[in-house]
Amino acid sequence: MARLLHELIFEQAERAPAAVAVVHRKTSLDYAALASLVQATARGLLALDLNRAERVAVYLPKRLETVATLFGTVLAGGAFVPINPLLKAEQVAYILRDCNVRILVTTRDRADFLEPTLADCLDLHSLVLVDGASSASRRLHHIQIIDWSDLLDADTRRPVARVIDIDMAAILYTSGSTGKPKGVVLSHRNMLTGAFSVAEYLGNRADDRILALLPFSFDYGLSQTTTAFATGACIVLMDYLLPRDVINTVAREQITGLAAVPPMWVQLALLEWPAAAVNSLRYFTNSGGAMPRATLAALRRALPKTTPFLMYGLTEAFRSTYLPPAEIERRPDSIGKAIPNAEVLVVREDGSPCAPGESGELVHRGALVALGYWNDPIKTVERFRPAPGQNPGLPLTEPAVWSGDTVRADEEGFLYFIGRKDDMIKTSGYRVSPTEVEEVLYGSGQVVEAAALGIPHPMLGQAVVAVIKPLCDDFNESELIARCKQHLPNFMVPLRVIVRRDDLPRNPNGKIDRKSLVEEFRTLFPETVI
C-alpha cells in the first residue's frame, strides 16, 4: 500500500497501466502515461533546484498539467500549493509570499495578470508557463521564465530527497473571507489516510468515473482526485460553468461519482436530468454545509438509482463524518458519524463530553489531523489543541482539531450540525442556528438560495435577516414569513427579508459567503429604532 501520495499513481501504473486515469476535454491519459508525465515533471522541478519541502504553487484551471504538477512536486520531495483560479492578483501574491513559494506554474495570461505583484515575491525564482512564452521578458523582475515543454525535457542527476509519510505534502489555503487566509499544512499521511478512508465508505472501484468539479485548492475538491487514484478509478476534469453544463458532462462522460456543495446542489435539483445521467451516476456527495431537506428530496426523486452521501469535513482534518445512506430516511438532517480511522467528539468548553442532545464543539482526533497553520503559531495553538480525554499516563500530548463548529449527538451517536461558532446569531438572549432558519426558507419552495444572517440591532443585539434569491418573479414575501412563523419560534423568524435577483456571493470554494453579506448589511438597522 502507498505510503507517499505520488505512489498512488505508480502503484496503479504497475497494476493496470492501460486503465484511463484522467480525462480533460478530448484528451485522456492512462495510468502508465500519467506516471511518465509525473516523473518528467519531477525531473524538471529538480532541475530548477527544488529542494526538500520547498513549495511549488499551481495557479491553473483544472488541466493535465495541473495534476502532473501536484504529484510531480511531491515526487521531487517538495510540497504543492494549489491556488484557486478565481483569486485576484493580490490574493495570489499574498499566498506566494506567505509560504515562500519557489516555483509557480501557471498560464501566460495569468502570469501577465500577476506581473505587477511579483516583484515583492522575493522567494519566487522560477515561473513555469504551460502554454508557451509570456508577453513579459524571459526574466520577470528577479524570476526566470520556463516553458512547460522545456521543463519536461530537462535532465538532471540530482537525487530525490528522502521523504517519509509524516512530511509535508501540501499547503491548502482557507478562503479567507475575513482577514488573511490561513495555510493548512497536510502531510502525506493525512492525505493518504483521507483518500483510503473516503474511498472505503463510498465504495469506490476501478471502473468509477469521478467528476472533478470543485477547485483543487479546496480539500473536498482535491479529495476527488486522491480517492480516484487510490482505487484506480478515472477522474474527469471540469471547471464549473453552469448547472446545465454539469449535468451534460455527467451524461456525456458517464460519470459515476459527483461531489458538490449545497448552493450547487440547490441549482442542480431544479433541472431535469437526462436518462444517460440518471443511469450512470452511482453516488453523489455533499459537504461544505448542510444540504436543504427539500433539495435532497428533489435530487432523490430525479436520481432514483443514485446513492447520496451526506458528509462533513474540515480543511484541518480533510474529512470527518459521513451519514450511511441507509440512515437517510430516518435522519436526513444528520452529518453521520466519524469516517473510518477517525474519532469525532462533542465537548463542552472545558473539554468534558456533552450528553446526548447537548450542543458542544466538534473535535476531531486521529491520523487526519493536519500539521497546523503555516507560519502562524498563534492560530495553530488556538485550533490544534490537546485531544480531550487523553490518558494521563501518556507523557506526550496528542493534538486534535477543535473545529469551531457547534454540533449535537443523538442517543445513538449520530451528529447534527448546528452552526459555526462565529456564524451563530445571538438575538434577544437566544442563540440561533442560521441553518435551521435556512431549512425553513428552502422548504417553502419559493427560494433558490438563502442565507440567514445576524445583523447588529440596537435593541435585539442581532436581528435575524434573510437574504434570498427567489425561484420566480411572483415571489410572495408574506407567504414566506407566514411559513417561518408556522415552523419557527418568534425569536427565529427573520425581521427582514432582502430579495436579490442575482446569485448570492460565494467564496472561492463555492459556498455562500455569509461574512461578506453581514458586512454589506451591517448598517441595515439605525442606532435608534423608533
Tell me yes or no: is domain 423-520 CATH 3.30.300.30: yes
Strand, coil or helix: 194: helix
Cα–Cα dist 374/96, whole Å = 12
Asked whether 354 and 409 are in contact (CB, 8 A), the reply is yes
Distance CA(394)–CA(74), nearest Å, equals 33
**Three-class DSSP category at 16:** coil
The span from the CA of 60 to the CA of 104, in Å, is: 10
Whether pLDDT at 30 is above 50: yes
What does the block give as the cell for 480?
A: 414566506
**Residue from 49, 56, 87, 97 nearest 73 by CA:** 56
262 and 291 Cβ atoms separated by less than 8 Å: yes
The 10s digit of each residue's pLDDT in 339-377 is 999 999 999 999 999 999 999 999 999 999 999 999 999
Average pLDDT over residues 480-486: 92
Amino acid at 68: A
For residue 60, CA distances in Å to 83, 87, 383 come to 8, 11, 30
**Residue 178 pLDDT class (50, 70, 90 cuts):** very low
- For strand 55-59 and strand 103-106, is the pairing parallel, antiparallel, or unpaired? parallel
Provide the 8-state DSSP code for 83.
-
Give yes or no for residue 450 having a pLDDT over 80: yes
In the chain, the amino acid numbered 246 is V
E strands, 191-297, are: 209-212, 234-237, 257-260, 283-286
Cell of 30: 492512462
Average pLDDT over residues 107-130: 95
Q: Of 66, 114, 74, nearest to 94 (Cα)?
A: 114
Residue 424 has pLDDT above 70, yes or no: yes
In sequence order, the 6+-apart residues with CB closer than 8 A to the CB of 154 are 43, 44, 47, 48
pLDDT in tens, 36-80: 999 999 999 999 999 999 999 999 999 999 999 999 999 999 999
Do the bridges between strand 360-366 and strand 342-347 make them parallel or antiparallel, or are there none, so unpaired?
antiparallel
Q: Which amino acid is at 241?
A: L
Confidence band, pLDDT 50/70/90 cuts, at residue 136: low
Q: Are residues 306 and 284 in contact, defined by beta-carbon separation less than 8 angstroms?
A: yes
For the full predicted model, state whether its pTM sits above 0.75: yes
Orientation of helix 108-118 relative to helix 89-98, angle to 10°: 70
Whether 480 shows a pLDDT value over 90: the answer reads yes
The answer to whether 471 and 446 have CB atoms below 8 angstroms apart is yes
**Residue 204: pLDDT over 70:** yes
Q: Distance between CA atoms of 419 and 425, rounded to whole angstroms?
A: 9
**Maximal CA-CA distance, the chain:** 77
Q: At 507, list the grid cell.
A: 467564496
Helices (H), 270-375: 275-280, 293-302
C-alpha 483/C-alpha 442 separation (Å) is 11
**Structure letter (DSSP) for residue 393:** T
3-state secondary structure of 289: coil
pLDDT of residue 293: 87
Instruction: Give the CATH H-level superfamily of domain 337-420.
Output: Luciferase; Domain 3 (2.30.38.10)
For cell 412563523, name the residue. Answer: 485
Same CATH topology for 30-185 and 423-520? no
Q: Is 176 left (phi over 0), alpha (psi -120 to 50) or beta?
A: left
Architecture of the CATH domain 30-185: 3-Layer(aba) Sandwich (3.40)
More confident residue, 8 or 240: 8
Strands (E), 152-295: 168-173, 183-187, 209-212, 234-237, 257-260, 283-286
d(CA 136, CA 145): 9
Domain ranges across the chain: 30-185, 337-420, 423-520
d(CA 329, CA 238) in angstroms, rounded, equals 32
Model confidence at 435: pLDDT above 50: yes
Average pLDDT, the chain: 92
Residue 262 has a pLDDT of 84
Report strand pairing: 321-323 vs 430-432: unpaired
Q: What is residue 145's predicted lDDT score, i.e. its pLDDT?
A: 95
Between the alpha carbon of residue 313 and those of residues 66, 220, 229, 230, the distances in Å are: 24, 8, 20, 19
Contact status, residue 254 vs residue 276, Cβ threshold 8 Å: yes
* Displacement of CA 87 from its chain's centroid (Å): 15
Measured distance CA(52)–CA(109) in Å, rounded: 30
